[in-house]
Amino acid sequence: MDDPAERLDPGSSITAVVADRVRQARRQADLSQAELAERMASRGLPWTRSTVINLERRSGGGRGRGAGGRGSIGLHEWLALADVLRVPPAWLLVGPTDRDAGGDPWTVPLWIMGRGVDEVREPLSPAGRAYREYLKVVVHMDQLVEHFDSMQSRRFTDSLRPSGALVPPDSEEDERELLRTMAFFLTKFSTWKMRPPAIPSRVRSRADELGVELPDATGSD
């Protein structure tokens, strides 16, 4: 199995990947180099148009063909760029279509999520294993909320159907079961003494209507 750390060369290689992704995302968002710099500056980073130009010179698709330009990028800048460009932070590092570094292109995203790690060769630390389980539950909770929203959308559509329509709506018991599953996973965060993911107020309101108690969480909006 590929070593994911080898895919994230801390030298100029990874900077070139980020530079290429920034250039691509900026153009897709129809932002000029000056506009990107302004948005970065609004987040407290001293970026100017020259900063963007200097970074994008690292891009293999730029005029400099990867020659010259900025040699590194800070963690705070990486996160701010992801926020400004509205992309997942991991996308700025590697994506599912990348083949230039060889191996499985999913290695790095999975590694960032604490998965796909060769634990036979070198097990994760206790903190690493705990965080991997935390991320699994966060992802699952997000999927449950998406399922809940789909149910609510169908419930609204069903309410508009003429009586006698042959499409059965989701039952309230289906909704209760989904909400009980959310409650079960929320208790896990209390057990781990970790902050739970945000539970939308619309979900809590429906849970109250159906008599399902969701544990209090500072993560609710």
pLDDT at residue 25 tops 90: yes
CA-atom Rg of the chain in angstroms? 23
64 or 144, which is more confident: 144
Backbone angles phi, psi at 54, to 5 degrees: -65, -40
What is the per-residue pLDDT across 172-189, written as a single tens digit (0 to 9) for each? 888 889 999 989 888 887
Q: Taking the model in full, what pTM does it have?
A: 0.64
* d(C-alpha 212, C-alpha 165), whole Å: 29
3 or 32, which is more confident: 32
What is the per-residue pLDDT across 58-68, written as a single tens digit (0 to 9) for each? 876 544 444 44
> Which residues have C-beta within 8 Å of that of residue 80, sequence separation ≥ 6?
40, 43, 45
Residue whose structure tokens are 């969701």: 214
CB atoms within 10 A of CB 196: 23
* d(C-alpha 8, C-alpha 5), whole Å: 5
